Amino acid sequence: MEKRYYYITPDDWETAERNNLNRSTVRSRVNTYGWDIDRAVTTPANPIKRYAFTKEEKELMDKNGLKLNTVYCRIRRGWDRREAVTTPAMSLEQAGKIARKVNCTRFTEEQLIVMEQNGTPYNTAFNRVAKLGWSVEEAISTPVMSRDAALKRAWAESPFRNTNDVLFKPLGARSP
């Protein structure tokens, strides 16, 4: 029998309904993915893999203030199922403390004073060290550029700085 790709008949829709397939799934399979119609209406849909929780587990989740999505994420990350539903969610403060311990970028009192004298905010110095890889001394001693200074520096180093005259000549201007 020849494969069909174009017209989905009413019999095909009935076959799809018997296989618990909705119309959008069948249309996507045929029109987007290039499946033949017989395959599209007979292949069962992949169920969304969700974890079924017992009544006791749901009560534990409510007791510990956990959202269903939090528990799903924990299980996908490899947590034990029991631990995922019994460990309470962290507050933002607790998460921040752990993140600061992991990043291990702390400044001494002297360094904080230098930052204040140079007008360098704590978060700027932290990002310079943690994300940009600057040395601590360079990060705290380099003042923050103003927007105008940053724009001038970017324009001076831009490879397009000399093309401005060519691109933006007034209409009617003739080149020599």
Which pLDDT does position 4 carry in this prediction? 80
pLDDT above 60: residue 171: no
Please list the helix, strand and coil fractions of the chain in percent, rounded to the nearest 5, in that order: 55, 0, 45
CA gap 145, 120 in Å, rounded: 10
Which pLDDT does position 133 carry in this prediction? 86
pLDDT above 90: residue 8: no
Whole-model pTM above 0.95? Answer: no
Which pLDDT does position 32 carry in this prediction? 87
Higher pLDDT, 158 or 170: 158
pLDDT above 70: residue 103: no
Which pLDDT does position 81 carry in this prediction? 87
Which pLDDT does position 11 carry in this prediction? 92
